[in-house]
Amino acid sequence: MKKINVALIFGGKSGEHEVSLASASSIYQFIDKQKYNVFTIGITKEGNWLYYEGDVENIKNGDWEKLSNRNVNINLIPTANKNIGIEFEDNRFEKIDVLFPVLHGPFGEDGSIQGLFEISNIPYVGCGVLSSSVGMDKLICKKVFEQEGLPQVKYTYTTKWDFNKNKDKVLDEIEQKISYPIFIKPANLGSSVGISKAKNREELENGINEALKYDKRVILEEGINAREVEVSVLGNEEVCASVAGEIIPSKEFYDYEAKYLNESSKLIIPAKIDDEMMNKIKNMAIKAFKSIDASGLSRVDFFIEKDTNKIYVNEINTMPGFTNISMYPKLWEATGISYTHLIDKLINLAIKRHNDKCSK
């Protein structure tokens, strides 16, 4: 059987560049090489696309950029003179059958690059343009979840323009709407980049200033005494959810360092909850997935309030991490789908969605 040509795309211009490198190196290591030819394409922090062929460790450690072959042409735009694919120096041409973008954050998970893939008319892993952009924008996503009746913690938001115009007024309004502790998040970013926790007004102001480095809008959420639980979701029209897993952060909350740099954070899989709560959370994860018209994969994060056992949807991640300590593949492994089989399923879902769209 002829192998399928997969272009694994990693890096990107967002603050989650290094996370993407780790995810891509892991996928490359575990993808079924008997079934797929893998072509690795990196995007630098400046936005340059480069073809890399070599030791996968160089992707993870960042050396791929200086070792890339700059004489290879990557063509994803259909033109009269060029086919879509990879053109090598010896005139060899490799058609791309499916794209596997392992890009986290802005320019990779927000619908931007998905729009390019739609223009290229090539199957690609993950959510489409709309669901990617809604899932990436935490503020818009919260409004969708609210419309769907999914419970969330109390929240409000502010903008860079409003905060710079009248800082004290904005801080007063936040304190009137929600209580400390307050979590501060950029509206458009993932992997807990730019997130902080404020216990007083001074920390709130500093946290907003930090979050505004990453986005012009900031979400403020009321902190609750809660367990953090996550569920992996897989599918297109037919959707299934993994068992839930619980996170015990190594720090006060599950920030960027606790997720990717400090391996002392504990992942309890499956979460220690009863069957009724497990099923309720799984059903809520599927509802959240469908509410933004997601496809392929997503990870849905929840809070379980310790005093009341009330469940709140926190957020959805349409391109969750694939590192060796990432929850998304670990949850599926605990549910019965191995890492390699999971990659295979995602590629098949991408091809099926594309074929379904083309047959309409």
Q: Is 185 annotated as a binding residue?
A: yes
Q: Is 183 annotated as a binding residue?
A: yes
Phi-psi region of 352 (alpha: psi -120 to 50; beta: other; left: phi over 0): alpha
Which stretch of DSSP H or E encloses residue 43? strand 36-43
- Give the integer Cα–Cα distance in Å for 259 and 249: 8
Q: Is 18 annotated as a binding residue?
A: no
Q: Is 110 annotated as a binding residue?
A: no
- What residue type is assigned to position 17 of the chain? H
User: Three-state DSSP class for 231?
Assistant: strand
Q: Is 160 annotated as a binding residue?
A: no
Show the tokens assigned to 119.
């223009």
Q: Is 167 annotated as a binding residue?
A: no
Q: Is 135 annotated as a binding residue?
A: no
Q: Is 223 annotated as a binding residue?
A: yes
Phi/psi of residue 129, nearest 5 degrees: -60, -55
| Alpha-helix runs per DSSP H in the chain | 17-30, 57-60, 64-67, 112-120, 129-136, 138-147, 160-165, 167-177, 201-211, 256, 275-291, 327-335, 339-358
- Give the integer Cα–Cα distance in Å for 92 and 41: 17
Q: Is 191 annotated as a binding residue?
A: yes
Q: Is 315 annotated as a binding residue?
A: yes
Q: Is 138 annotated as a binding residue?
A: yes
Q: Is 226 annotated as a binding residue?
A: yes
- Give the integer Cα–Cα distance in Å for 205 and 116: 38
Catalytic residues: 16, 191, 326
| Those residues with Cβ within 8 angstroms of residue 41's Cβ, 6 or more apart along the chain or in another chain | 7, 8, 9, 10, 49, 50, 51, 52, 74
Q: Is 221 annotated as a binding residue?
A: yes
Task: Check residue 89 and report its DSSP letter.
Answer: T
Q: Is 227 annotated as a binding residue?
A: yes
| Those residues with Cβ within 8 angstroms of residue 164's Cβ, 6 or more apart along the chain or in another chain | none
Q: Is 120 annotated as a binding residue?
A: no
- Give the integer Cα–Cα distance in Å for 78 and 76: 6
**Binding site for Mg(2+): which residues?**
301, 315, 317
Annotated binding site, which residues?
A: 138, 183-185, 191-192, 221-228, 301, 314-315, 317
**Residues contributing to the annotated binding site for ATP:** 138, 183-185, 191-192, 221-228, 314-315
